Each structure stands twice: as C-alpha cells, then as structure tokens.
Amino acid sequence: MQVPLGSGRPPFAPIPSAPSAESPVMVPTSTPPPPIAAVPTPSATSRFLKDNRWMKWAIPAGLVVGFLCMIGLAALIIPPILNDTKPTATVEIDTMTVFEHIDLGYEFYDAGDYDEAKNEFEAAIGLGSEDLDMYYILADAYYALNMLDEALGTVEKAVSIAPNDAWVQESAGWFYQSIDLHEEAIGQFERALDLDPGAEWVFEGLAISYEALGDFDRADEIWGMIGPGELGEDPYVLEEQGWEYFLNNDFVAAQQAFSRAIDLDPSLLSAWSGLSDTYWYQGDNQSAVEILQAALEGNPPEAWVYEQIGLLYSELAEYDASIEAYELAIDLDPDWTQAYGEISDLYYEIGEYDSALGVLEQGLAANPERSDILEYLGWLYIDFGEYENAISVFQGSTEIDPYYTWNYYGLALAYEYSGRFDEAGVALETASANSFDDPWLESSIGWEYIELGRCDLAIIHFEIALQIDSSLQDAQDGIETCGG
C-alpha cells in the first residue's frame, strides 16, 4: 500500500474489538443439606419382626446377596472406565507480554510475513493493547492479505478509540486514500481539520483525493491554501503541486514547484523527472535531457532515469546515445525489460535487423517468462515475414499473460498473413472479449476485419470503440471506409 508522498505516516488498520473485561468469578453460596429421612422407632421394628419371623433370616441373606451383586457389577464396570481414561489436555498459556507481541509483529511485518505479523498484533490486542501505531500497521497487514473487511474494521476501531484525535482521523484518511476510497478519505481529512485547523498535511491529502475524483477545481483551491510554513516548504508537497500544475498544462508554475522541491531535496529524482517533462512537453528535448543528466550527477543511478534519457535521445534522432542510455538501464537492472524492446526498435529503425533480433533474444534469455519481450519479438518476426515464428511467439506470450490482449491481435495478424483466416478471426474475438474497454484495440480489430473482407464485423468493433471514446477519429475513419 502506498501512502501519499510526504505524509510521513501510513494509514490505520482494522482494529479487532477491544477485549471485554473478564466477568467476575461467581462463588456459589452454601445451601443447607436436605433433611434426614425419618427412621422407624425400635418398638415398631420389633413388632414388625415379631409378626414376620421369616424376615429375621431373609433380611441378612438379602443384604449378603446384594453386597455380592454390587461387587460383581463393580468388577464389570470399573476396568473399562480405567482403560478408557485419557490424560487431561494441557492448556498452553501465553507468557509473552503485550510489548513482546507488538515488537515481534513489527519484525514479521518488516520481513513481509504479514500473516505472522497479523497473529502477533491480534495477540497484543487480545491482551488489551490500544497502541494506535500498531493498529494501522495491522490494517496494512490485513490489506496485504486481501482481508479488506478486517482492514476497514481496524480503521474504524482506531477512530472509535480516539474520536477526538486529529492525527488518528488524518491517518484513517490516508488509509482510505491508499485503497482508493477517496470519498471516505475526504470525510476523515475534513474531520481532522475540524479537530485541528492547523493540521497542514491534511490539505495535501484532500487535494489528492479531490484530484482522484476528478474535481480539479476543488483540488486547485486546496493546493492554493498551502502557503509558507512547514508544508509549503516540504519538497514532496512541492512536487505534488508541480505535477498538478503539469496536468493542467501550466508548465511555468510546474517548473517553479519542481525546481523549489529539488532545491530543498536534490535526491528527489521524481522531481527532476517532472522538471524534465515540463521542457519535453514544450518541445525542448535538449533541456529535458540535460536536466536528467544533472540529476544523475549527484545521485545514485537509476534504471528508469536512463530509460527516460534514452527515450529523449531517440526523439532527438541521436540513436547511438539513446542505445547507450538504454544499455545502461539494463546494466543497472536486467529485469528492466522494456529497454530491450526500445533498443530493438532503434536497431530496426537504423536498418540493423540482426542486432534488433539479437537484443531481444538476449533479453529473452535473461527473462524467459516476460511476455512483453515475446511481444516485441513477435512483431519483429511479422516485419521479417517469418509468420510461423511469429505465431509461435505470440502463442507463448498469451500463455504467460492471457490478459494482455494486444498479443492476441498480433497473433491474429500472423494467422492472416499465413492464410489461416478462421484462426485469425478467433484470435480477434478473443482480443475483443478481453479488451478491457481499450478503444484503440477495438478500432484495430475493426481494421483487421476490413483486411479479412468482413466489414459487417469491422463496423461492430468500430462502434464499440466509439462507445468507449466518441472522439476516436481512427474508428470514425473505419466506419466511413466500410461505407457507414
């Protein structure tokens, strides 16, 4: 779970209900014994025996027989009872203290063992802990274990424990925001401001959530409330402001925010990237490159920064410099697979086809389960006219990642160029069924149906594309091509 940059505090977690107080032990009061039954008087007994003389011998004999019967019955009953007797189960007593459970929970959490962390935190709560720092870590552990209801319950419990604590309300807001419950996050942030109007970090949380809900006017208004002071001089908040200005195409204001963030924290590479982007989007690619190079002069190298430099050089048509930057990205992180595809595209662009193929094979050898490298290789085989190889590669890619639907589109093209038109149609429909509302994919499927001579099916997919994005000119052109 990611907490907003600069928040300095992760969100709360579901808090199991606090243990109820133990009921007092009830000691039963003594009760008087039942009254003793009345015994016949001696005179009455004598008269009875005198009148029934045969009983004088019958009674002792009956007692003896009864006694012997009791002994026999006991002999039958007692051994089985003794044989069936089982040892009493031992009860394991928790000898750890609340603090030991909490410390152990943090150790498990830091190691990524969220299930054990959860168990330790729950044990601490069972012993009566109301450590709110622990509660929000528990919520995070629940969320990592896909136990959303428990995570939300823990947050609610934390809020109920300290309903008038602004920090608790704010922390709940960050948790809700981190799982995209932005309306709930806004409610908690506003509650925090009611309790503490000086809770500056709340403004950042509110602005981010309003942006996520598409209310950019309200977000702009809140960002404008952040002035001088601790928050106004925080590099993370300034970076957030920079991206907000960038999204609204206010590049001058964005440059000012990013530059101030970098002045306060030169290690903040994401702010350097934002500053570079403001120049890139204005067409000044050279300045964009220089900014990223300056960022790397004083900071440890990062693969994604070199990839961004490679992209900028490719737009400047400086292919050798671009390839070098991508190769540095791979050297830093061999799993940075998109760099292999970018290098392959550059080699293809300059006509070095063997190198284009070779770099993808190198990437595949290092990352055999990466469907994106297989996709690059599939398209390259199509360009080379090696359609059977393309089919094999695209099939392998769809097996690794059956939800990346452009692979099915590539497979359809390879089938079509091989003359396997029925299989091409099946691949296209599979792509559409899993398109996840991608208008460009639907439009591309439409154009492929035109190639297959099926305008009736093409129009269906163009119309789907326009339902997703009514302004997509590519789909409108397709309908016109089919005479629609």
Residue 28 has pLDDT above 60, yes or no: no
Instruction: Give the ranges where 196-318 is alpha helix by DSSP (H).
Output: 201-212, 216-225, 235-247, 251-264, 269-280, 285-297, 303-315
For 435-456, the pLDDT digits (tens) are: 778 999 999 999 999 999 999 9
Q: Give the CA distances from residue 442 to residues 32, 301, 421, 473, 475, in Å, rounded to whole numbers and listed in that order.
A: 90, 40, 18, 13, 8
Q: Residues 66-86: what's their mean pLDDT?
A: 47
d(CA 414, CA 397): 14
Which of the 8 DSSP states describes residue 22?
P
Q: Which strand (E) or helix (H) includes residue 51?
A: helix 42-51
Q: What is the mean pLDDT of residues 194-202?
A: 84
pLDDT of residue 46 exceeding 80, the answer is no
Query: What average pLDDT does the segment 23-49 reach?
Result: 34
Q: At what angle do helices 406-417 and 387-400 cross, to 10 degrees?
A: 160
Write down the pLDDT at residue 384.
92
- pLDDT for residue 17 is more than 80: no
**Residues 106-143: pLDDT tens digits?**
999 998 899 999 999 999 998 888 888 889 899 989 99
The confidence score (pLDDT) of residue 404 equals 86
Least confident of 65-74, 135-144, 216-225, 267-276: 65-74
Dihedral sign from CA coordinates of 123, 124, 128, 131: negative
Q: State the average pLDDT for the chain.
A: 81
Distance CA 186, CA 213 (A): 10
Q: What is the pLDDT of residue 59?
A: 42
Reported as a single tens digit per residue, the pLDDT across 377-401 is: 999 999 999 999 999 999 999 999 8
Among the ranges given (27-31, 132-136, 230-234), the one the predictor scored with the smallest mean pLDDT:
27-31
In this predicted structure, the answer to whether residue 42 has a pLDDT above a threshold of 80 is: no
pLDDT at 69: 45
Which range has the worst mean pLDDT, 229-233, 265-269, 348-352? 229-233
Q: What is the pLDDT of residue 240?
A: 83
> Which domains occur in the chain, in start order?
1-15+95-224 (1.25.40.10)
Q: What's the confidence (pLDDT) of residue 92?
A: 53
In this prediction, residue 238 has a pLDDT band, given cuts at 50, 70 and 90, of: confident
HSE-up (13 A, CA, CB side) for residue 83: 6
Q: How confident is the model at residue 43 (pLDDT cuts 50, 70, 90)?
A: very low
pLDDT at 82 over 70: no
Percentage of the chain beyond pLDDT 70 is 79
pLDDT value at 60 more than 80:
no
pLDDT at 261 over 60: yes
* Average pLDDT for 459-483: 94
Q: What is the pLDDT of residue 268?
A: 94
- Whether pTM > 0.85 for this model: the answer is no
